[in-house]
Structure 1
């Protein structure tokens, strides 16, 4: 009887331990091991000082997470985002922190923590007048401008043909083989209020049409001139690029290994690839491109630090993105890091951190 009771108690203990394992299936974090955490320079999310000390939004967040979870770690620098992703996917790194955008292709080979920053792509444009002639040329060659010119020319041709039909038998100046050319020339002359000596119509129908055409042409030319002037003034003041849709008609630059390339490729927008934001912004300054596309907070940081008087970041955000901490697939750190990230980003400490680096409240 006693032996049976002991067997029953042992079975009960095994069952309870099994239930506990089901309730918390994630393996425990080994806090004794030093983690290898990769990063890359991506101001203001990851910045390396002259003494080798790392700071920035992502770095500060990781330090807070590590302190919360009592993790030991060392930072390793990589030159590109692809190196961060590939190294984490291969298990070379226990985590990667920088300005890593959470995307579908990346989520297939690595895990991401909860998003800690919501952003999107931005556009930097030049404030100098180097592209002013390009603005004027683009406006003149635009479909709307050509359509307006075509309408005026079409009206002049129509009026010229009607004048020829009315005058060809009674007005020697509009008759004969050359009469239709003279009629069209008179129509253009009347439209532009010029005077080249071409005789006027003499028939009642011709003169009636001439009076109507003169009145209509004055209005048409005035509207056309006002529209062109307004378009040129507006585009010259605003520049070539005012929103994402304008990128299709200008020279665009982007960082070769960034998520900006995915967006531009998906929208079939031609672009020039650059190895870094510094290289792309220098090309923009030198007039080699008309717009540079990159993650907006990183773009704003670079422009503010180096090009505040010559460039501007448009007040638009497109292609929404989220930043997260990259982890190997199935990492035992993920659950605890998720909780620590959520707690940190909902605290006053996070608000102060964003304000310190970005001025965001």
Structure 2
């Protein structure tokens, strides 16, 4: 009897070991009900309205960053409430003052911010871009005119004009310098200046002095004929250049912004960039205020995060604004935590969020979110 009891105990122990092993090897379900149950006091998450990352929806938010954090909260087992702010400067202040334990929207990871805060793994790769009104810019300034004559075929045309003055001028002066009735001095200076003035008049179709020698007259006829062809082409190219410049406007990218009226949000990396590049900067509490100022022609351009500008240009700003130039100053966005958030007494929240974020990239959840908010819009 005791032998049978011993065998029964052994079999029960083996069964328990097998069940434990199977439980450890079983894959975790993506169903929220299988995730850790939220425990403890609700975290306060500071954010701001910033389509397509954060979009107001009833009493809460939707958008790429909103849905990303909601999934992370489920996976890490935390409760949270939203705390809405006006801009990134207020998000930083709320987290630093302890009014919020997390900040998320489109917060750029910078070395300066890293000194005062902790960041998650990068959650989005972005950069800055320029937005301008779609209206034709028909104002002309010395800088605009200089740009016309330094672009396209204009430098080559100016070079040809110089040759049309120098070559005929030298030929006519050489042929006329010893003629007794020549209007040109036989001395190189000032004779050559007089001859080049004659050549310039010939290029314009107006000759004040006629050469006396046969070579001078032949050169004069040839110069007038070539000049007529040149002036016809010049006029066509000049008209085309002015038309293109008017259609494009005066700002085509970040290199055109020094001295221009530029708007962005207060405390942002785009504001720092604009100050460093001598733009006439106006800082707004929200990017929506900057959009309104641009449409009312109070600004020449906006510098801000590329995804936000592209989303606005394709939605509320369609037909009113356009995004120009390349993406510059590449940046990574991260989730913001107070400094020292990995300390044991602070529940290692950043570490848990990083692990969950990496798992979202591995299982395809991140890619599905990205395609929902960005690829579909493109």
Normalising by structure 2, report the TM-score. 0.73
Q: Which residue does 1:190 correspond to in 2?
A: 202
1:132 to 134, 138, 145: 138
1:311 to 298, 321, 326: 321
Q: Which residue does 1:320 correspond to in 2?
A: 330
Q: Which residue does 1:31 correspond to in 2?
A: 39
Task: Pick which of 351-360 and 146-155 moved more.
Answer: 146-155
2:96 to 84, 89, 96: 89
Measured in 1, the distance between the counterparts of 2:140 and 2:294 equals 14
CA apart distance, 1:355: 3.5
Work out whether 1:46 is the aligned partner of 2:54: yes
Q: Which residue does 2:30 correspond to in 1?
A: none
Measured in 2, the distance between the counterparts of 1:171 and 1:255 equals 76
Structure 1, unpaired ranges of 5+: 1-29
Work out whether 1:337 is the aligned partner of 2:353: yes
Work out whether 1:114 is the aligned partner of 2:126: no
Shift of the 315–160 alpha-carbon distance from structure 1 to 2, 3 Å rule, reads closer
CA apart distance, 1:157: 6.7
Cα contact 1:135–1:239 (8 A) shared by 2: no
Number of aligned positions between the proteins: 327
Matched residue SS, 1:272 = strand
Shift of the 121–85 alpha-carbon distance from structure 1 to 2, 3 Å rule, reads same
Structure 2, unpaired ranges of 5+: 1-37, 342-347
Cα contact 2:271–2:283 (8 A) shared by 1: no
CA apart distance, 1:76: 1.4
Q: Which has the higher contact order (CA 8 A, sep 6+)?
A: 1
Measured in 2, the distance between the counterparts of 1:134 and 1:357 equals 40
Measured in 1, the distance between the counterparts of 2:86 and 2:354 equals 26
Q: Which residue does 2:19 correspond to in 1?
A: none
Q: Which residue does 1:354 correspond to in 2?
A: 370
Shift of the 160–132 alpha-carbon distance from structure 1 to 2, 3 Å rule, reads same
Normalising by structure 1, report the TM-score. 0.76
